[in-house]
Structure 1
Amino acid sequence: MALHPDFTRLPIAHRGLHSPGLPENSLGAFRAAIAAGYAIELDIQPSAEGTPMVFHDYDLTRMCGDEGYIADRSAADLAELRLQGTAEPIPTLAEVLREVAGRVPLLIEIKDQDGRLGRNIGELQDRVAAALVAYEGPVAVMSFNPHTVAAFGKAAPEVTRGLTSCDYPKEDWPMLDDEERARLARLEDYPASGAEFLSHYWRDLDNPAVTALAAQGVPLLCWTIRSPEEEAEARKLAGGITFENYSA
């Protein structure tokens, strides 16, 4: 399935159009993005029973001031928490799909559940696929884990899927050895993943593996742009941008 052209036509608000008092990955941030006419990027983590929750981190500390991990809490317990001291709860994917309702494109990142981008991915991608069965509107799903991308493709072949990627610096990926980080940075898993687009770290867009895929016609998105100057530089190579903290 080809990537919908609105993912390159419209700037993509990273975790919604969040701002002070309007937390990332909240329904309020998504409403703000819709009102501004932006596409939306969001993250998925599982609750204890596997419900797809819209949340970036593995732990609850930064966003909720709560100890523990999101995957250890039930969806009902997570619904009682609030994001960064606001009235905004942690939404489920189902709630976000009802809110967006196809009005703007939706870019969904399934967070790695293996811990090392390996094969132990669980069922989260299948739960996301099930949630999207009746959804109408531009939507695409991506992950850093190529095994997740491949498994999602089997579960929902009608939904566009992509690989999220970067240059895999050691300080950000200490769980991976040097050889594995270099292999991932060369995007060697892209063909086997069945990905149909790439979302790559914007400062590494001149990576030969990235430019080779782009030359083959692979749609290229990038993350995360934080100024007009960065946007101008990224758009020399990328077709679409994910942005935050300024008006794209």
Structure 2
Amino acid sequence: MRPRLNPVFLTTPLAHRALHDVTDGRPENSRAAISAAIAHGYGIEIDVQLSADSAAMVFHDYALDRLAEASGSVRARMASVLAQTTLCGGSEGIPSLPEILALVAGQVPVLIEIKDQDGAMGEQIGPLEEAVANALQTYAGPVAVMSFNPHSVARMAELCPDIPRGLVTSGYDPKEWPLSRATCEALRAIPDYDRVKASFVSHDAADLSRPRVAELKAGGADILCWTIKSPEAEAEARKIAQNVTFEGYLAAHPG
């Protein structure tokens, strides 16, 4: 089964890590950034990491240091502790996925990126995917899941067969990725699209001209992209991509 994206994912610009701006008290993936995105009518792209007690926490990095007033691994702390860990540039703690879903409540589309928990895009995954699936059991709004790790996407196909799923994809320059050259070469070809029964990719905007992207689009895949940082870059990306994930400016609403 290959569930398709709700059409709203192709018509509503997606705020990268929500509509964040620390100069206005809206850290990445925070409730404040989520609320701002909703107020502007944007869709929301968020990231999830795993806590020590297997909760899905809405946070981008593996370590706390850059984004929170703490240091060390997210995965080493209990969800209750993370909830009390203040985000830099704001006044709130790290939210859980159920909290964010309750806040959005179907008002705008939510695109959930499941961060690779294996460390090398391998098969050592499972608890985070299960936590995401549990959080989505009763969610009724437009939602989709994606990951750079194809094994994660395949697991979501088993856990949530009715929820649209996609691959986050890239040109995988070995100089920019903490992965082996062989892994980069394998993932660059996007070989797992059909195996995981994906219906979309979110591809690196700088690499949208890759022939494989055109091939997938011609075969019916929806093409999203990341991360757009100006109206000019958005206009260029939209020559190929059907929608953009943006930050640093206010994307126009098509139509």
Q: Same fold (TM over 0.5)?
A: yes
Tell me the distance in 2 between the aligned counterparts of 1:86 and 1:222.
28
Residue matched to 2:104: 100
Matches within 5 A, 1:215-234: 215-234=218-237
Query: How high is the TM-score relative to the length of structure 1?
Result: 0.98
Residue matched to 2:154: 150
Residues 113 and 145 in structure 2, CA contact (< 8 A), matched pair in contact too:
yes
| 1:85 Cα offset (Å) | 4.2
SS in 2 for 1:82: coil
Tell me the distance in 2 between the aligned counterparts of 1:209 and 1:94.
35
Task: Say which of 4, 7, 25 aligns to 2:6.
Answer: 4
- Identical columns (%): 51
Residues 39 and 106 in structure 1, CA contact (< 8 A), matched pair in contact too:
yes
Query: How high is the TM-score relative to the length of structure 2?
Result: 0.95
**Residues 44-91 of structure 1, C-alpha deviation per residue, up to 9 Å, x if partnerless?**
001001100000000000011322100000001111111114212100
Matches within 5 A, 1:153-172: 153-172=157-176
Residues 198 and 219 in structure 1, CA contact (< 8 A), matched pair in contact too:
yes
The unaligned stretches of length 5 or more in structure 1 are none
**Residues 6-38 of structure 1, C-alpha deviation per residue, up to 9 Å, x if partnerless?**
111010000110112210100000000000000
Tell me the distance in 2 between the aligned counterparts of 1:156 and 1:29.
27
The unaligned stretches of length 5 or more in structure 2 are none
| 1:171 Cα offset (Å) | 2.6
Residues 104 and 138 in structure 1, CA contact (< 8 A), matched pair in contact too:
yes
Residues 163 and 190 in structure 1, CA contact (< 8 A), matched pair in contact too:
yes
Residue matched to 2:83: 79
Matches within 5 A, 1:1-248: 1-19=3-21, 20=23, 21-174=25-178, 176-248=179-251
Residues 23 and 88 in structure 1, CA contact (< 8 A), matched pair in contact too:
no
Most deviating of 101-110 and 63-72: 63-72
Tell me the distance in 2 between the aligned counterparts of 1:44 and 1:162.
15
Tell me the distance in 2 between the aligned counterparts of 1:159 and 1:105.
13
| 1:122 Cα offset (Å) | 2.8
Tell me the distance in 2 between the aligned counterparts of 1:13 and 1:114.
27
Residues 126 and 155 in structure 2, CA contact (< 8 A), matched pair in contact too:
no
SS in 2 for 1:193: coil
Residues 16 and 33 in structure 1, CA contact (< 8 A), matched pair in contact too:
yes
**Residues 156-195 of structure 1, C-alpha deviation per residue, up to 9 Å, x if partnerless?**
0011111001011123213x22222112111112221221
**Residues 216-237 of structure 1, C-alpha deviation per residue, up to 9 Å, x if partnerless?**
1100000000000100000000
SS in 2 for 1:61: coil
Amino acid corresponding to residue 201 of structure 1 in structure 2 = D
SS in 1 for 2:245: strand
Amino acid corresponding to residue 182 of structure 2 in structure 1 = E
| 1:42 Cα offset (Å) | 0.1
Residues 143 and 164 in structure 1, CA contact (< 8 A), matched pair in contact too:
yes
RMSD between superposed Cα atoms in Å: 0.9
* 4+ residue runs over 4 A deviation: none
SS in 2 for 1:192: coil
Residues 83 and 89 in structure 1, CA contact (< 8 A), matched pair in contact too:
yes
Tell me the distance in 2 between the aligned counterparts of 1:127 and 1:243.
27
Tell me the distance in 2 between the aligned counterparts of 1:141 and 1:130.
13
